[in-house]
Chains A and B, each alone.
Chain A
Amino acid sequence: MKQFGYTILEDRSIDIDRNDQRIREFLSLNDPSINACIGCGSCTATCTAGHFVDFNIRRVHTFLRRGEAHLLKEEIQKCMFCGKCQLICPRGVNMRNLIISINSAIERMG
């Protein structure tokens, strides 16, 4: 068969219908503060790790809330658990607890 070099690109949109919301649901059951984010970026601004490596705690958190769970596991390894994000959060999101819980959530969900 003649190859024209066409490929089918993977859809890069966030598909809320298909995404796995279980981690978010599990985490928000344990700690509803995760839903209080207004995306101000204070956490990322103060994050020591994020100034040196490609790690954006606000985006990780937003991905989580959109059910983009496949991105989480690797990303959160970059966190140093210093807790500054939590100290600065104007909405009281329990970020440190959240990162720790993501690990156990991923283990539970497989």
Chain B
Amino acid sequence: MSREVIVIGGGIAGITAASSLSESGSRVTLLEKEKYIGGHVKKWDRLFPSFRPANEVLDWAEKSMSSDIEVLKEATITSIKREGDKFTVYIQNDEPVTGKAIVLATGYELFDARKKEEYGYGIYDNVLTSADLEAIFREGKKIVTADGKTPRRVGIVHCVGSRDEKVGNLYCSKVCCVTGVKQAIEIKQVLPGTDVYGFYMDLRMFDRHFEELYFEAQQKWGINFIRGRVSECAENEDRSILIKTEDTLTGKPLKMTVDVLILLVGFIPSVETNKLASMLGLQTGDDGFLLSMDEHTQDNNTAIPGVFLTGALKGPTSIINSIADARSTALQVQVYLKSIG
């Protein structure tokens, strides 16, 4: 079947790109590897900085998809062929799809916290990731220790898998800082008697209303922020977690016990992003994410005419910025389609 544009990846960026393209007159096929569309946003409970439910944004995105968009779920791409201005995407156990342009929106995956063995994820029962905590919130579960008790103290470790050459990721994952502050407040909202400590190197409150959220976390919720990267954790006999860091603001080593430890895991390029990049011969940066033609002026274009990039496959980004990027991609695609006639 022939469509004008093939969007690969049904996360928030892919959905928005597809609906923007459809709204502006293109016939779109959206390919998604999972059984559902919605990507990471579907797994999140509430969003920073306003605590709005993630569902609201996803519902909006899905509602803005016209019925003209053809959505193929559980689509595993086996190869992509380009002949002149025509692309053919071959899908396992399905008919190939053809189009004049391809938008890649295959996004990211979360860093595997087990790689930072010194934090004990997957070894100690009371060490969770930010995604695990989000699932607890989303499923309406209680935050409890492995023994089913209410934690008296929760620690939150920033920059897990980010800004760390020891795991090969020198880049900042951008959204973990504010996620950590958001989750700290959310813990206090459900467990007001629990003390929450955040361990950070820098708190990068770069976007609108982020700094205010940090201010609220300190002033309204009494969350403690300690400036120091956690060097290691050990499990106590009662399965609580002993953490070590330096309190760099006093210049002394610091240790403390927490009942639950949350690791703010960063972004890595998704398997699918890597796969498609090598299939199409696209350039990746030294951080492993895809490179556009020009990060300032042609950030949705690639060296291959008709292949476009959108969202977190170009590096860590927020939902807000992914949506904006997807719309800008749609515009660039329309300009391209017009140019080839």
Query: A residues bordering B, Cβ < 8 Å?
Result: 38-47, 50-51, 56, 58-59, 88-92
Known contacts A90-B165, A91-B165, A92-B165: A42-B253 contact under CB 8 Å: no
Query: B residues bordering A, Cβ < 8 Å?
Result: 118, 159, 163-166, 201-202, 227-232, 244-248, 251-254
Known contacts A42-B229, A44-B246: A56-B164 contact under CB 8 Å: no
A70 to chain B, nearest CB (A): 18
Docked Cα-Cα span, A39 to B228, in Å, equals: 8
The 3 nearest A-B residue pairs measured at CB: A41-B246, A45-B231, A40-B229
Docked Cα-Cα span, A59 to B166, in Å, equals: 22
For B254, the chain A residues whose CB sits under 8 A away are: 45
Q: Is the CB of B244 within 8 A of A45?
A: yes
Docked Cα-Cα span, A60 to B166, in Å, equals: 22
For A41, the chain B residues whose CB sits under 8 A away are: 227-229, 245-248
Q: Is the CB of A46 within 8 A of B201?
A: no
Q: Which of A40, A89, A90, A92 has the most CB of B within 10 A?
A: A40
Question: What would 26 A/B residue contacts be, using CB atoms closer than 8 Å?
Answer: A38-B163, A38-B201, A39-B201, A40-B228, A40-B248, A41-B229, A41-B246, A42-B228, A44-B251, A44-B253, A45-B228, A45-B230, A45-B232, A45-B245, A45-B254, A46-B244, A51-B253, A56-B246, A58-B251, A89-B165, A90-B163, A90-B166, A90-B229, A91-B165, A92-B165, A92-B166
For B229, the chain A residues whose CB sits under 8 A away are: 40-42, 45, 90
B55 to chain A, nearest CB (A): 36
**Least CB separation from B118: chain A residue:** A88
For B227, the chain A residues whose CB sits under 8 A away are: 41
**Least CB separation from A51: chain B residue:** B253
Q: Is the CB of A59 within 8 A of B251?
A: yes
For A44, the chain B residues whose CB sits under 8 A away are: 246, 248, 251, 253
Docked Cα-Cα span, A40 to B253, in Å, equals: 12
Q: Is the CB of A42 within 8 A of B246?
A: yes
For B247, the chain A residues whose CB sits under 8 A away are: 41
A35 to chain B, nearest CB (A): 14
Q: Which of A41, A51, A58 has the most CB of B within 10 A?
A: A41
For B246, the chain A residues whose CB sits under 8 A away are: 40-45, 56, 58
Docked Cα-Cα span, A44 to B202, in Å, equals: 17
For A89, the chain B residues whose CB sits under 8 A away are: 165-166
Docked Cα-Cα span, A88 to B244, in Å, equals: 12
For A51, the chain B residues whose CB sits under 8 A away are: 253
**Least CB separation from A40: chain B residue:** B229
**Least CB separation from B167: chain A residue:** A90
For B165, the chain A residues whose CB sits under 8 A away are: 89-92
Docked Cα-Cα span, A45 to B247, in Å, equals: 8
Q: Is the CB of A39 within 8 A of B163?
A: no
